Structure 1
Amino acid sequence: MDEDSSKLGAAAVAIRLGTIGAVILCIAGGFAYAGGWLTPGRLTQGKVIDGFEAVNGRHIGFRRNHAKGLCATGWFDSTGAGTAFSKADVLAPGRVPVTGRFAFAGGMPFIPDAPTLVRSLALQFNPRGGEEWRTAMIDIPVFPFANVQAFYDQMIASVPDQRTGKPDPEKMKAFAATHPEFGSAIAIVSKRAVSSGFANDTYNGLDTFLFVNKAGVAIPVRWSAVPVRAFAPAGPPSHNDPNYLFDGLIADAAQQPLQWKMVVTIGHPTDPVSPNVPWPDDRTRVEVGTVTLDHLTAEERGTCADINFDPTVLPAGMRTSADAIPSARSAAYAKSFTLRQRERTAKPPSAVTEAEVQAGGRS
Structure 2
Amino acid sequence: MIQLQDEALLEDLLAAIHATFGHHTGYRATHSKGIVAHGTFTAAPEAARLSRAAHLQGQPVPVTVRFSNFSGVPQTPDGDMMASPRGLGIRFHAGEGAGTDIVAHSFDGFPVATPREFLAFLQGIAASVSPTAPDPAPLETFLASHPRARHYLETVKPPPRSYTTIHYFGINAFVLAAADGTLSTGRYRFEPLAPPETVPEHEVPTLAENYLADELEARLAQGPAAMRLIFQLAGNGDDTADGSQPWPYYGPQARHEQVLGELQIEALASDQVQASSQLALNPARLIDGVQLSDDPMVPLRNALYRLAASRRR
SS at 1:314 equivalent = coil
Percent of aligned pairs with the same amino acid = 24
**Which residue matches 1:322?**
294
Residues 1:141 and 2:108 are matched in the alignment: yes
SS at 2:306 equivalent = helix
Q: Quick check: 296-305 or 139-148, which moved more?
A: 296-305
Q: Is the 8 A contact 1:144 1:276 kept in 2?
A: yes
CA distance in 2, matches of 1:82, 1:115: 38
Residues 1:203 and 2:171 are matched in the alignment: no
> By how many angstroms is 1:200 displaced?
0.5
CA distance 1:180–1:39, shift in 2 (3 Å): farther
**Which residue matches 2:285?**
313
1:271 to 216, 222, 238: 238
Q: Which amino acid aligns with 1:278?
A: P
Q: Is the 8 A contact 2:32 2:74 kept in 1?
A: yes
1:52 to 10, 13, 17: 17
SS at 1:94 equivalent = coil
CA distance in 2, matches of 1:51, 1:298: 34
**Which residue matches 2:204?**
237
**Which residue matches 1:257?**
224
> By how many angstroms is 1:36 displaced?
4.4
1:113-160 CA distance string (max 9 Å, x none): 116321111000011244312011100011111211111111111111
> Which structure 1 residue ranges, 5 or more long, are not aligned?
1-34, 344-363
SS at 2:119 equivalent = helix
Q: Is the 8 A contact 1:115 1:196 kept in 2?
A: no
**Which residue matches 1:290?**
262
1:244-284 CA distance string (max 9 Å, x none): 22222222222221111111111136421111112253321
Q: How does 1:1-363 map to 2 (within 5 A)?
A: 36-37=2-3, 39-40=5-6, 42-44=8-10, 46-114=11-79, 116=81, 117-159=84-126, 160-163=129-132, 168-183=135-150, 185-186=151-152, 190=155, 195-235=160-200, 236-239=203-206, 241-268=208-235, 270-273=237-240, 274-280=242-248, 281-297=253-269, 300-340=272-312, 343=313
> By how many angstroms is 1:339 displaced?
2.0
Q: Which amino acid aligns with 1:303?
A: A
> Which structure 2 residue ranges, 5 or more long, are not aligned?
none
CA distance in 1, matches of 2:270, 2:30: 17
> By how many angstroms is 1:299 displaced?
5.7
CA distance in 2, matches of 1:123, 1:195: 19
Normalized against structure 2, the TM-score is what?
A: 0.88
CA distance in 1, matches of 2:207, 2:156: 28
Q: Which amino acid aligns with 2:280?
A: N
1:68-103 CA distance string (max 9 Å, x none): 011110110111211111111211111010001111
CA distance in 2, matches of 1:38, 1:324: 16
CA distance 1:111–1:226, shift in 2 (3 Å): same
Q: Is the 8 A contact 2:174 2:290 kept in 1?
A: yes
> By how many angstroms is 1:177 displaced?
1.4
CA distance in 2, matches of 1:226, 1:92: 20
CA distance in 1, matches of 2:70, 2:227: 20
Normalized against structure 1, the TM-score is what?
A: 0.77
Q: Is the 8 A contact 1:75 1:292 kept in 2?
A: yes
1:17-61 CA distance string (max 9 Å, x none): xxxxxxxxxxxxxxxxxx8437446512x2222211110011011
CA distance in 2, matches of 1:103, 1:214: 35
SS at 1:199 equivalent = helix
1:341-361 CA distance string (max 9 Å, x none): xx2xxxxxxxxxxxxxxxxxx
- Tell me how many residue pairs correspond in the alignment: 302
1:146-188 CA distance string (max 9 Å, x none): 2111111111111113258xx64333211111324434x539x
Q: Which amino acid aligns with 1:295?
A: A
Q: In angstroms, what is the RMSD of aligned CA positions?
A: 2.3
CA distance 1:70–1:191, shift in 2 (3 Å): closer
